[in-house]
Amino acid sequence: MDKAGGGNMKNAIIFDLDGTLWDSSEEVIFAWNHILNKYTDGKIQIDIKFMQSLMGKTMKEIKCLIFKDYPQLNADLIYDECMKYENEYLRKNGAKLYPSLKETLSVLANNYALSIVSNCQCGYIEAFLEYYKLNHLFADTECYGNTLKEKSENIKAVINRNNYQEYYYVGDTLGDYNSATEANVPFIHAKYGFGNVPQAKYSISEISELIPLMEKLK
Protein backbone atom coordinates (compact mmCIF):
# COMPACT_ATOMS: atom_id res chain seq x y z
CA MET A 1 0.00 0.00 0.00
CA ASP A 2 1.20 3.49 -0.82
CA LYS A 3 1.53 5.17 2.56
CA ALA A 4 0.44 8.58 1.35
CA GLY A 5 -1.84 10.99 3.13
CA GLY A 6 0.01 10.87 6.45
CA GLY A 7 3.37 12.46 5.72
CA ASN A 8 4.92 13.78 8.94
CA MET A 9 1.54 14.42 10.52
CA LYS A 10 1.35 13.30 14.15
CA ASN A 11 -2.34 13.99 14.67
CA ALA A 12 -4.38 11.03 13.50
CA ILE A 13 -7.90 9.77 12.95
CA ILE A 14 -8.21 5.99 12.95
CA PHE A 15 -11.37 4.53 11.42
CA ASP A 16 -13.28 1.33 11.68
CA LEU A 17 -14.51 0.23 8.24
CA ASP A 18 -17.92 -1.51 8.27
CA GLY A 19 -20.66 0.79 9.52
CA THR A 20 -18.23 3.70 9.58
CA LEU A 21 -16.83 4.24 6.08
CA TRP A 22 -19.12 1.94 4.09
CA ASP A 23 -21.97 -0.56 4.38
CA SER A 24 -21.09 -3.77 2.56
CA SER A 25 -23.86 -5.89 4.13
CA GLU A 26 -25.77 -6.69 0.94
CA GLU A 27 -22.64 -7.44 -1.06
CA VAL A 28 -21.16 -9.67 1.64
CA ILE A 29 -24.45 -11.56 2.02
CA PHE A 30 -24.50 -12.24 -1.72
CA ALA A 31 -20.88 -13.44 -1.72
CA TRP A 32 -21.24 -15.64 1.35
CA ASN A 33 -24.49 -17.24 0.23
CA HIS A 34 -22.93 -18.01 -3.15
CA ILE A 35 -20.25 -20.12 -1.44
CA LEU A 36 -22.52 -21.50 1.31
CA ASN A 37 -24.96 -22.78 -1.33
CA LYS A 38 -22.09 -24.59 -3.01
CA TYR A 39 -21.22 -26.53 0.14
CA THR A 40 -24.48 -26.80 2.10
CA ASP A 41 -27.24 -26.92 -0.54
CA GLY A 42 -28.96 -23.97 1.09
CA LYS A 43 -28.91 -25.36 4.64
CA ILE A 44 -26.90 -22.34 5.78
CA GLN A 45 -27.98 -18.93 4.52
CA ILE A 46 -27.07 -15.46 5.75
CA ASP A 47 -29.66 -12.67 5.98
CA ILE A 48 -29.29 -8.97 6.69
CA LYS A 49 -30.25 -9.21 10.39
CA PHE A 50 -27.70 -11.93 11.06
CA MET A 51 -25.05 -10.15 9.01
CA GLN A 52 -25.42 -6.90 10.92
CA SER A 53 -25.24 -8.79 14.23
CA LEU A 54 -21.77 -9.94 13.19
CA MET A 55 -20.38 -6.44 12.61
CA GLY A 56 -17.36 -5.76 14.79
CA LYS A 57 -16.72 -9.41 15.66
CA THR A 58 -13.47 -11.16 14.78
CA MET A 59 -13.23 -13.67 11.96
CA LYS A 60 -12.89 -16.51 14.48
CA GLU A 61 -16.07 -15.45 16.30
CA ILE A 62 -18.02 -15.14 13.04
CA LYS A 63 -16.95 -18.59 11.85
CA CYS A 64 -18.07 -20.16 15.12
CA LEU A 65 -21.47 -18.47 14.93
CA ILE A 66 -22.12 -19.52 11.33
CA PHE A 67 -21.15 -23.18 11.69
CA LYS A 68 -22.04 -23.89 15.34
CA ASP A 69 -24.93 -26.20 14.38
CA TYR A 70 -23.01 -28.01 11.63
CA PRO A 71 -19.98 -29.70 13.21
CA GLN A 72 -19.83 -32.19 10.33
CA LEU A 73 -18.84 -29.47 7.86
CA ASN A 74 -15.27 -28.39 7.16
CA ALA A 75 -15.85 -24.91 8.56
CA ASP A 76 -12.29 -23.72 7.96
CA LEU A 77 -12.37 -24.63 4.26
CA ILE A 78 -15.81 -23.11 3.61
CA TYR A 79 -15.15 -19.96 5.61
CA ASP A 80 -11.82 -19.34 3.90
CA GLU A 81 -13.51 -19.65 0.51
CA CYS A 82 -16.25 -17.24 1.63
CA MET A 83 -13.62 -14.67 2.58
CA LYS A 84 -11.71 -15.09 -0.67
CA TYR A 85 -14.82 -14.75 -2.84
CA GLU A 86 -16.04 -11.81 -0.74
CA ASN A 87 -12.80 -9.91 -1.35
CA GLU A 88 -12.93 -10.64 -5.08
CA TYR A 89 -16.56 -9.56 -5.33
CA LEU A 90 -16.00 -6.31 -3.43
CA ARG A 91 -12.87 -5.51 -5.42
CA LYS A 92 -14.95 -5.77 -8.62
CA ASN A 93 -18.26 -4.30 -7.44
CA GLY A 94 -17.63 -2.11 -4.39
CA ALA A 95 -20.38 -1.56 -1.82
CA LYS A 96 -22.30 1.42 -0.38
CA LEU A 97 -20.22 4.40 0.69
CA TYR A 98 -21.77 6.67 3.26
CA PRO A 99 -22.78 10.09 1.85
CA SER A 100 -19.99 12.66 1.42
CA LEU A 101 -17.35 10.12 2.43
CA LYS A 102 -14.77 10.92 -0.25
CA GLU A 103 -15.13 14.66 0.17
CA THR A 104 -14.89 14.41 3.96
CA LEU A 105 -11.81 12.20 3.90
CA SER A 106 -10.12 14.51 1.39
CA VAL A 107 -10.59 17.49 3.73
CA LEU A 108 -9.48 15.60 6.84
CA ALA A 109 -6.37 14.23 5.12
CA ASN A 110 -5.03 17.78 4.83
CA ASN A 111 -4.61 17.98 8.60
CA TYR A 112 -4.64 14.42 9.92
CA ALA A 113 -2.97 11.13 9.18
CA LEU A 114 -5.85 8.79 8.36
CA SER A 115 -5.71 5.08 9.18
CA ILE A 116 -8.07 2.09 9.24
CA VAL A 117 -8.15 -0.65 11.88
CA SER A 118 -10.76 -3.37 11.34
CA ASN A 119 -11.52 -6.89 12.54
CA CYS A 120 -11.75 -8.06 8.93
CA GLN A 121 -9.77 -10.60 6.90
CA CYS A 122 -6.67 -9.86 4.86
CA GLY A 123 -7.52 -8.14 1.59
CA TYR A 124 -10.83 -6.62 2.71
CA ILE A 125 -9.52 -3.13 3.48
CA GLU A 126 -7.52 -3.26 0.25
CA ALA A 127 -10.70 -4.07 -1.72
CA PHE A 128 -12.35 -0.97 -0.25
CA LEU A 129 -9.37 1.29 -0.96
CA GLU A 130 -8.71 -0.02 -4.45
CA TYR A 131 -12.29 0.05 -5.73
CA TYR A 132 -12.82 3.64 -4.63
CA LYS A 133 -9.22 4.75 -5.32
CA LEU A 134 -8.68 6.00 -1.77
CA ASN A 135 -5.20 4.61 -1.12
CA HIS A 136 -3.62 8.05 -1.34
CA LEU A 137 -5.69 9.34 1.58
CA PHE A 138 -4.59 6.74 4.13
CA ALA A 139 -1.28 6.52 5.93
CA ASP A 140 -1.71 3.03 7.40
CA THR A 141 -4.11 0.11 7.86
CA GLU A 142 -4.29 -2.97 10.05
CA CYS A 143 -6.71 -5.86 10.52
CA TYR A 144 -7.33 -9.01 12.52
CA GLY A 145 -6.57 -11.14 9.48
CA ASN A 146 -2.99 -9.85 9.42
CA THR A 147 -2.18 -10.06 13.11
CA LEU A 148 -4.79 -12.36 14.72
CA LYS A 149 -4.84 -9.80 17.55
CA GLU A 150 -7.69 -7.96 19.23
CA LYS A 151 -8.69 -4.60 17.75
CA SER A 152 -7.35 -2.72 20.76
CA GLU A 153 -3.89 -4.20 20.13
CA ASN A 154 -4.05 -3.31 16.44
CA ILE A 155 -5.07 0.27 17.26
CA LYS A 156 -2.08 0.60 19.58
CA ALA A 157 0.23 -0.91 16.96
CA VAL A 158 -0.81 1.64 14.32
CA ILE A 159 -0.33 4.49 16.78
CA ASN A 160 3.09 3.29 17.91
CA ARG A 161 4.59 2.49 14.53
CA ASN A 162 3.54 5.86 13.13
CA ASN A 163 4.46 7.78 16.29
CA TYR A 164 1.06 9.46 16.39
CA GLN A 165 0.88 12.01 19.21
CA GLU A 166 -2.83 12.87 19.24
CA TYR A 167 -5.48 10.53 17.91
CA TYR A 168 -9.13 9.50 17.86
CA TYR A 169 -10.86 6.27 16.87
CA VAL A 170 -14.10 6.50 14.88
CA GLY A 171 -16.39 3.46 14.99
CA ASP A 172 -20.03 2.45 15.16
CA THR A 173 -20.37 -0.42 17.65
CA LEU A 174 -19.98 -1.04 21.36
CA GLY A 175 -17.11 -3.36 20.47
CA ASP A 176 -15.37 -0.44 18.75
CA TYR A 177 -15.89 1.71 21.84
CA ASN A 178 -14.52 -1.00 24.12
CA SER A 179 -11.48 -1.53 21.88
CA ALA A 180 -10.68 2.18 21.77
CA THR A 181 -11.13 2.45 25.53
CA GLU A 182 -8.80 -0.52 26.11
CA ALA A 183 -6.24 1.18 23.87
CA ASN A 184 -6.69 4.45 25.79
CA VAL A 185 -7.84 6.23 22.62
CA PRO A 186 -10.70 8.78 22.60
CA PHE A 187 -13.72 7.38 20.76
CA ILE A 188 -16.10 9.05 18.31
CA HIS A 189 -19.35 7.18 17.69
CA ALA A 190 -20.61 6.94 14.11
CA LYS A 191 -24.30 6.92 15.01
CA TYR A 192 -25.33 6.22 11.41
CA GLY A 193 -23.73 2.75 11.56
CA PHE A 194 -24.87 -0.53 13.12
CA GLY A 195 -24.58 -0.05 16.89
CA ASN A 196 -25.75 2.00 19.85
CA VAL A 197 -23.06 3.43 22.12
CA PRO A 198 -24.84 5.71 24.61
CA GLN A 199 -21.71 6.12 26.73
CA ALA A 200 -19.72 7.69 23.89
CA LYS A 201 -18.55 11.22 24.73
CA TYR A 202 -18.41 12.29 21.08
CA SER A 203 -20.72 11.29 18.23
CA ILE A 204 -21.59 12.13 14.64
CA SER A 205 -24.82 11.50 12.75
CA GLU A 206 -23.12 11.53 9.35
CA ILE A 207 -19.49 11.35 8.30
CA SER A 208 -19.34 15.00 7.19
CA GLU A 209 -19.94 16.09 10.81
CA LEU A 210 -16.46 14.83 11.60
CA ILE A 211 -14.91 17.95 10.04
CA PRO A 212 -16.48 20.51 12.42
CA LEU A 213 -16.12 18.11 15.36
CA MET A 214 -12.37 17.80 14.82
CA GLU A 215 -12.15 21.60 14.67
CA LYS A 216 -13.81 21.80 18.09
CA LEU A 217 -11.49 19.14 19.52
CA LYS A 218 -8.30 20.96 18.52
Altogether, the residues listed in the chain come to a count of 218
Query: What CATH code is assigned to 11-23+96-217?
Result: 3.40.50.1000
Residues of the chain within CATH 3.40.50.1000 domain(s) are 11-23+96-217
For CATH 1.10.150, the residue range(s) in the chain are 25-93
Average pLDDT over residues 65-74: 93
H or E, element range at 171: strand 166-171
Q: Where are the alpha helices (DSSP H) in 70-150?
A: 75-93, 101-108, 124-131, 144-147
**Per-residue pLDDT reduced to its tens digit, 111-160:** 999 999 999 999 999 999 999 999 999 999 999 999 999 999 999 999 99
* CATH match of 25-93 with 1.10.150: yes
Q: What is the distance between the alpha carbons of residues 98 and 88, in angstroms, rounded to a whole number?
A: 21
pLDDT, tens digit, 9 for 90 and up, residues 70-79: 999 999 999 9
Q: In the prediction, which pLDDT does 189 show?
A: 98
pTM: 0.94
Q: Span 41-56, mean pLDDT?
A: 89
Buried-state track 86-98, b at ≥16 Cβ within 10 A, e below 16: bbebbbeebbebb
For residue range 171-206, list pLDDT tens digits in order: 999 999 999 999 999 999 999 999 999 999 999 999
